[in-house]
Each structure stands twice: as structure tokens, then as C-alpha cells.
Structure 1
Amino acid sequence: MTEPTPPQLKPMPDDWSRALAVVAHPDDLEYGCSAAIAAWTDAGREVAYVLATRGEAGIDTLAPDECGPLREREQRASAAVVGVTEVEFLGLRDGVIEYGVGLRRDIAAAIRRHRPELVVTLNHRDTWGGVAWNTPDHVAVGRAVLDAAGDAGNRWIFPELAERGLQPWNGVRWVAVAGSSSPTHAVDAGPGLERAVRSLLEHRTYIEVLTDEDPETYARTFLTQTAERAAPRFGGRPAVTFEVFAR
């Protein structure tokens, strides 16, 4: 018997001009989808980043007051590699983000500020493909992003935002979840892969604590293998995958 052909992934929508990526920590986007972001900025699209935390609890050997500023610098440098210059930090405490009204409000405010058509976030489910437990921060932020995309357009949910000059924005057309175990769409990873590797390497301090492997070998292997796993579902092309929720 032949193996069933896996369902093919659709190309990502391309009729948009502005995207906002909202994730919990520095390096979340670099592990998740920076090759796609490089392709988008190459095409002249605007992409901005919003990070809920500065990742200050991510390195056991560095105290948070030292680690936070270092990881923020690494994130800004990492974003620049793929053509992103606008990087914001919400300043929430790393590791203990709670899903709730406050988080939805913060993200809705960011969406109103940036007025994107596409919002990108990271896997909000309990596990990574059913084999590894996800972190509470990823789950809380990803879920709040999906909700805040609607909150941003409803003037009656957070009226205090309008009082701060942030008028409702109902222009979000899609929310794309990177790292999902149920992807629906993909972006060809080839054109942006080299920059994705360089972008991840900007998080060198974190990588050197995470693994004894040579940082470049580690980054290249991780991103290449991840992209190649999607190839059978995207016409044989290595790809960055997303689960896309249309609005």
C-alpha cells in the first residue's frame, strides 16, 4: 500500500501591506517564522514586533535585571536582520504572564497603534505537536492575540483605549499562528532562510546556554530541518507553516 498524500498547504494570503507579530519572548519569532518575515519585508511589506516580555527569566546564570536588557538588545538586532525596525516590549514579567482582560487590552492597544491587516503569533495550544508541553506564556499570549484581534475593532470593549487616542481598528483580516500542529498555509522558506539563520544567531547568549553545539550549526540545523518537514505538503519546497484564522 502507498502512503496517503498529506493535505497540501495553501500559500499565505498576499493582498496586505502591514503585519504585526505579537509573541511572549525574545527569540520566539526567530524559532518560529523569521524566514517568512524576511520574504515579506523583501516584498515591501511593513512588519512590526511586539514582545510581551524581555525574556529576563530565560537564562539561569543571569539575574533578570542583567538578562532583560541583554535579551532586548539581541531581539532588536535579530529583528533588523530580517528588515524589521519597529520592536516594542510590553514589559510583562517573564514566565508568569496570565491570560485575561489586561493582556487582551494591552494587545488590542498594540493592534490599534499599528493597524495591521495580518497579525502573527505563536502556538497557543497546550503542547507542541502532542509531544512537548508548551509554556504558560506562549499559551496565554497566543490565545490573547486571537481574542484581541476582535477586541481591537470593538469600541465598546475597551473604551478607555479610545480615550487615549487609540481608535478602533477592525482591519485585521487574518491571524496566523506559527508553530501550530494544525497548519493550513505556508510561505516558501528558501528566499529568507539564510537571514533567518543569522537572525536566530543574534540570540547568541541564549543559544550558548541552551546547547553545547556550535551556535551556527545549531541554528542552521534547527531551521532547515523544520522547513524541510513541511516540504511534502508545499509542493516539495521547504516552508514556514501557519495555521490561519480568517476574520
Structure 2
Amino acid sequence: MTEPTTPQLTPMPEDWRRALAVVAHPDDLEYGCSAAIAAWTDAGREVAYVLATRGEAGIDTLAPAECAPLREREQRASAAVVGVSTVEFLDHRDGVIEYGPALRRDIAAAIRRHRPELVITLNHRDTWGGVAWNTPDHVAVGRAVLDAAGDAGNRWIFPELTERGLQPWDGVRWVAVAGSATPTHAADASAGLERAVASLLEHRAYIEALTDEEPETYVRGFLTEVARSVGERFGGTPAVAFELFAR
């Protein structure tokens, strides 16, 4: 009896120039896919970040008014490490983001502003696979991103955006979901892994509140193990996995 084979992941598309990453919180991209983003910006591609919140509810020992500007600074520094200079915040409330037209409209507006071919988000499903429960914010934003990719191209959905000068953009070709339990594609993380480590380390205040482990040991161990695990389905090359939805 032959052993079942693990399906290999397909390389991510390369024929694009602009990407927009839309997630709920500071650090979501750094835990998910910044090694791929570093490689893409190295290749001359444009990547911008949009965050639904400023992560103000993320550190138990800091009140939201103090936490929000700290986490914004950490996110901007983190993005710069992987070649991203545009970081925007939508100012939805951390922890209680509501899926619905308001969130879809804000994300559709961002897509119209940046006009990406590739949109990136984080796992939108109830779990990370098995019984590891996802957060409501991730679910709401991920679902809204998938919907807003279509909303952005329809002038009759959110017509107020056109009135504000944001013309429809129907050029999104893919939505790539990082952190999915059912990935279909992967991007080589070899060249970007060290910068991914440095990028996540910029979230030092958050990490120090999250774990008693030494920050670099924690970050390097986590990202290296994830990249190695994905690489088992990508020819042995350390990689970042995505579930890719074509449009």
C-alpha cells in the first residue's frame, strides 16, 4: 500500500506590479507573510498596507489611547524593513470590527486609491484549522476584503466613492489569503526571511507583552518553523503559503 502524497503548492503569480495588503491589526502581516513582501519589493513591485485598526486593544497593560500611537509607530517601522512606505489606518475599533457595508466601503475605497492587481489579507475562516479559534476581527476583515475586491469595480455599489473622485477599479486579479489552513500557492521565503524576522521584531512592545521568551528567539523560532513547514509542500524551499482566489 503506497503512502498518500501531500499536494504540492503552486508558485504565486509573478505577472503583477502593484499589491495592497489589508488586515485587521499591526503585526498581522508580520506573523503571516512579510518574507514574501520583502522579496516582492526587492523585485521592484509596489506594496501598500491598509490596517483596519491601530491595534489599541492589543496590550493588556496599556490603555488604548497610549497603545494606539505606539503600535502605529511599530507598524510603520516594521513595514519599512520590508520595503513598504505606504501604511494607512482605517480607524475601526480594535476587537469589535463589524463586517458589513461600512467596512466593505472603506476597503473598496482603499482598493480604488491604490489600484492593485493583487490584494492580500489574513485568514477569514472561523478557525486556523482544527480547533484553533480565529478572532472576530480577522474573520470580518478577511471576508470584507474578498467582497470589496468586487465592490471596488462596480460603480453602483458605494456610488459615494465615485462622487469623492475614486473611480471604479476592476483590476484586482487575485486575492491571496495568508494563514489559511487550506493553502493553494506559496512564495519563496529564502531571500526575505531575515528581514521578516527583523520586521516582526519591530513590534517589540507587543511581543514583550505576549511572551516571556526572549523576543528574537521567539520571533526567529516561530517564523523559521512556519517557513520550513510550508517548504515541505514547496520543493523543500522555505516559503510563505497563501490560499489564492482568482477573479
TM range, smaller chain: over 0.9
**Aligned counterpart, 2:79:** 79
Deviation at 1:5, TM superposition (A): 1.5
Q: Using the TM superposition, give the Cα deviation of residue 32 of structure 1 relative to its aligned residue in structure 2, in angstroms.
A: 0.2
Q: Is residue 2:120 matched to residue 1:120?
A: yes
- Is 1:230–2:227 an aligned residue pair? no
Which residue number in structure 2 is paired with residue 55 of structure 1? 55
Aligned to 1:185: 185
Counterparts of 1:131 and 1:32, CA distance in 2: 19
> What letter matches 1:237 in structure 2?
T
Summarize deviations over 1:142-201 as a string: whole Å, max 9, x none: 000000000000000111000000000000000000000010000011110000000000
SS at the partner of 2:227?
helix
Q: What count of residue pairs does the alignment treat as equivalent? A: 247
Secondary structure of 2:157's counterpart equals: coil
Cα distance in 1 between the residues matched to 2:131 and 2:239: 21
Q: Distance in 1 between matches of 2:232 and 2:46?
A: 30
1:28 aligns with 2:14: no
Q: What SS does structure 1 have at the residue aligned with 2:74?
A: helix
Match of 1:206 in 2: 206
Q: Secondary structure of 1:132's match?
A: coil
Structure 2 letter corresponding to 1:33: C
SS of equivalent to 1:233: coil
Amino acid at match of 1:52: A
Which amino acid in structure 2 is aligned with residue 20 of structure 1?
L
**RMSD of aligned residue pairs (Cα, Å):** 0.6
Structure 1 segments of 4+ aligned residues over 4 angstroms from their partners: none
Instruction: State the one-letter code of the partner of 2:239.
Output: A
| Whole-angstrom distance in 2 between the partners of 1:207 and 1:241 | 23
Give the counterpart letter for 1:125 in structure 2: R
Letter in 2 for 1:232: E
Give the Å deviation of 1:243.
Answer: 0.2
- Which residue type is aligned with residue 243 of structure 2? E
**Structure 2: distance between partners of 1:41 and 1:226:** 21
Counterpart in the other structure of 1:159: 159
What secondary structure, in the 3-state scheme, does the structure 2 residue paired with 1:234 have? Answer: coil
Please tell me whether residue 150 in structure 1 is matched to residue 128 in structure 2.
no
CA distance in 2 between partners of 1:200 and 1:67 (Å): 17
| Pair 1:10 & 2:1 matched | no
- Using the alignment, how far apart are the partners of 2:213 and 2:224 within structure 1? 16
Q: Secondary structure at the match of 2:232?
A: helix
Identity within the alignment, %:
85
Cα distance between partner residues in 2 of 1:90 and 1:30: 19
Q: Distance in 2 between matches of 1:74 and 1:120?
A: 20
Corresponding residue SS for 2:41? helix
* Alignment match, 1:39: 39
Q: Residues 17-60 of structure 1, C-alpha deviation per residue, up to 9 Å, x if partnerless?
A: 00000000000000000000000000000000000000000000
CA distance in 1, matches of 2:45, 2:102: 30
Q: State the match for 2:215 in structure 1.
A: 215
**Cα distance in structure 2, aligned partners of 1:231 and 1:11:** 11
TM-score (ref. length: structure 2): 0.99
Aligned match of 1:19 = 19
Question: How far, CA to CA, are the matches of 1:3 and 1:85 in structure 2?
Answer: 47
Provide the rounded CA distance (Å) in 2 between the counterparts of 1:97 and 1:180: 20
Code of the aligned partner of 1:87: V
Paired letter, 1:143: R
Q: Match of 1:16, as an amino acid?
A: W
Partner of 1:174: 174
Structure 1 segment 131-146 matched on structure 2, within 5 A: 131-146=131-146
**Residue 2 of structure 1: CA displacement?**
4.6
- SS of residue in 2 equivalent to 1:182: coil
| Residues 52-83 of structure 1: per-residue CA shift (max 9 Å, x gap) | 00000000000000000000000000000000
1:131, CA displacement in angstroms? Answer: 2.7
Give CA-to-partner distance per residue, 1:71-123, whole Å, 9 cap, x none.
00000000000000000000111000010000000000000000000000000
Matches of 1:88 and 1:158 in 2, distance apart? 20
